Amino acid sequence: MNAFEKEIRERFSSKVEERGCFLVDVEVSADNDVTIVIEAMDRNVDLEDCVSLDKSFHEMWDQDAADYSLTVTSAGLDLPFKDLRQYLKAKGEKVEVRFRGGRSMTAELLDADEEGIFLRYSVMEVPQGKKKKVAVVHEDRFPFSEINSVRPHVSFDK
């Protein structure tokens, strides 16, 4: 994290929280392209959130003096979770988990903490004494050290 990213996180977090949101990520490129990713605490991020935070940011940092471009955006469905609050907001929802080593699964996120996540998922298994596979539900905890990414599961089923 460079000095400008750190300054943004320290000074701008309170403005984001005033909107009922939290900072997910702050990135500043070598060309001073600033990208701020936000998530709402208990609702979806709307255009008004992004416009208001864009205005607040420009009030805090003079664009002519710092020579930056700014993008304020929501975390979206295609980005992996980066903040524990995203996991907590997604409790009870389906998520796509990619593990180190290449394995992946879709599961229900039951809980999360600083150490890892707790998932409910089903696996086709052959029960002892049977010949056919059946879906067996598991509830397991996975440490973040075993996980590459977790993102919301998008389904087009009704």
pLDDT tens across 50-62, in order?
A: 999 999 999 998 8
pLDDT tens across 60-115, in order?
A: 988 777 788 999 999 877 889 999 999 999 999 999 999 999 999 999 999 999 99
8 A C-beta contact, residue 124 and residue 132: no
Q: Say how far apart CA 112 and CA 97 lie, in whole Å.
A: 13
